[in-house]
C-alpha cells in the first residue's frame, strides 16, 4: 500500500505531460520522455505494478544489447533479439536438443 501514493503521482504526471507524439516518441525536453510516453496508455494498475517492482527490488541490473547478444547467439537456432525502445530486451530462439538428451 505504501507505493499507492507515488504510483498515483507518477501516473498523473505521465497522463498530463508525456502524451506520445504521432511518431510514438515522447517529449524530448522532459526526462525519460520516450520511456514515460510508452507508459502513457497503461492503466493505473500497470503503473502501480511497475512502481512496486522498483521499490521492492534491492538492486536492478540493466544489461546493454552487446551484453545480451552473446546469450542468444550461443548455440541456438533462429535466434532473435528485440528491444522495446532500448529499455528492455527479449531474446527468442529455438533450442536444439541432442538425441542423447531425449533418451
Convert the pLDDT of each residue in 48-61 to its tens digit.
998 998 888 888 77
Q: Which residue has the higher pLDDT, 93 or 31?
A: 31
Give yes or no: residues 48 and 71 share one domain: no
Do 91 and 49 sit in the same domain of this protein? no
Asked whether residue 43 falls in the same domain as residue 78, the answer is no
Residues 52 and 11 in one domain: yes
- Paired strand residues for 83: 89
30-34, 36-40, 82-86: lowest mean pLDDT where?
82-86
Lowest-pLDDT range, 15-24, 33-42, 79-88?
79-88
Say if 46 falls within a structural domain.
Answer: yes
pLDDT tens-digit readout, 60-73: 777 788 888 888 77
Beta bridge partners of 76: 95
List of residues 6+ apart from 36 with CB closer than 8 A: 13, 14, 17, 18, 26, 30
Q: How confident is the model at residue 100 (pLDDT cuts 50, 70, 90)?
A: low
Same domain, 9 and 52: yes
Show the domain range for 47. 4-56
- Decide if 36 is inside a domain: yes
The whole-angstrom separation of Cα 5 and Cα 10 is 9
Residue 90 lies in a domain: yes
Amino acid at each position: 500500500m505504501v507505493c499507492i501514493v507515488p504510483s498515483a503521482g507518477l501516473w498523473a504526471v505521465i497522463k498530463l505531460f508525456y502524451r506520445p507524439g504521432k511518431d510514438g516518441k515522447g517529449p524530448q525536453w522532459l526526462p525519460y520522455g520516450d520511456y514515460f510516453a510508452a507508459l502513457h496508455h497503461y492503466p493505473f494498475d500497470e503503473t502501480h505494478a511497475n512502481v512496486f517492482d522498483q521499490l521492492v527490488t534491492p538492486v536492478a541490473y540493466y544489461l546493454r544489447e552487446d551484453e545480451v547478444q552473446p546469450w542468444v547467439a550461443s548455440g541456438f537456432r533462429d535466434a532473435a533479439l528485440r528491444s522495446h525502445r532500448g529499455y528492455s530486451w527479449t531474446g527468442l530462439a529455438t533450442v536444439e536438443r541432442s538425441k542423447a538428451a531425449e533418451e
